[in-house]
Amino acid sequence: MVEEQATVSLTRSLTEMDGMNTKKNVFIIGATNRPDQIDSALLRPGRLDQLIYIPLPDEPSRLSILKAALKKSPIALEVNLDFLAKNTHGFSGADLTEICQRAAKLAIRESIDSDIKLAREKRAGEGGDDTKMEEDIDEDPVP
């Protein structure tokens, strides 16, 4: 069933690509991490006839990706982006972006936990009662 659907999709794509040859200002661009798995029918002249290899980012590119991914986030002084760029050889742009997103979520979670702890300490210092705080009841909003 899956193989049949793949064949139908491939045939439809090939038909669409062949119909675009008459249009001079149309470019079809594809991307894959597995060029060895591309059907040879896609690679014939007039379809996807040029392969351009784009390597993983080098150190300066990784630094730029990290900076771009974190440009809207406050960064602690002890975070050394140069060190991170140097030690993430083999990481893709998507990998680096994911690391930044996870780090931001972790920082938010730690900040929330710190705020809850301070509120509990303040409440305990004021002789507060044992009722649960709203934060104690709700699930963690940051996955």
pTM: 0.63
Taking each continuous run of H as one helix and of E as one strand, the counts in the chain are 5, 0
- CB count in 10 Å sphere of residue 110: 11
- CB count in 10 Å sphere of residue 106: 11
| Residues contacting 96, CB < 8 A, separation 6+ | 57, 62, 65, 66, 69, 88
Q: Which domains does the chain have, with CATH numbers?
A: 2-43 (no CATH), 59-137 (1.10.8.60)
Tokens describing residue 125: 């210092």
pLDDT one digit per residue (tens) for the chain, 143 residues: 778 887 888 888 888 877 766 667 878 888 888 888 888 888 888 788 888 889 999 999 999 999 999 999 999 899 999 999 999 999 999 999 999 999 999 988 988 988 898 888 888 887 655 555 554 555 655 55
| Residues contacting 116, CB < 8 A, separation 6+ | 133, 135, 136
